[in-house]
Amino acid sequence: MKKLLLILAMLLVTPLAAQDNLPPAPFAYQQLEDPELEAMAQDLMITLRCLKCQSQSIADSDAPMAGDMRHQVRTRIAAGEEPEAIREWLIQRYGDYVSYQPRVKASTWPLFAIPALLVLGAILVLRGRLRKAK
């Protein structure tokens, strides 16, 4: 229990201490001039996890690191990079956890297959019932 409390206390320390003195990265709070590119960046940013405040997207978070990640996204999009390539770049560094967009992989396919199977099963049961009712 004591250990657990210590671990919890440790988790509290880092965010409180994360107060730096440098101004935010140029494109942390500055939108891109081209509204189309900005919309593209926005669509990507709401699906990327803030690594500091892990339940927020980088579009939502005011953590300096989230600002730095927004800067990366905006400058890369302005440079003509595809949003999915940027997502891939981050996944290469932080794993799938950094992206909120679920992906079909060897370990995740049941998440997609089971609902489909359940719906199929429900249809079969319903059809049987309806036939009996006639």
Query: What's the CA gap between 27 and 132, in Å, rounded?
Result: 64
Asked if 77 and 40 touch (Cβ cutoff 8 Å), the reply is: yes
Q: How far is the CB of 27 from other proteins (least distance, A)?
A: 9
Stretch that binds other proteins, among 4-12, 40-48, 77-85, 101-109 (CB under 8 A): 4-12
DSSP one-letter code for 22: S
Residues in the chain: 134
Of positions 32, 69, 77, 86, contacts other proteins by CB under 8 A: 69
7 binds other proteins (CB under 8 A): yes
Of 17-25, 36-44, 78-86, 104-112, the segment contacting other proteins by CB under 8 A is 17-25
Q: Which residues in the 87-106 window bind other proteins by CB under 8 A?
A: 90-95, 97-98
51 is a contact residue toward other proteins (CB under 8 A): yes
In angstroms, give the least distance from the CB of 7 to other proteins.
6
Token pair for 71: 């800067």
Calpha distance 9→63 (Å, rounded): 19
Rounded Cα gap, residues 9 and 3, in angstroms: 10
Minimum distance of other proteins from residue 84's CB (angstroms): 17
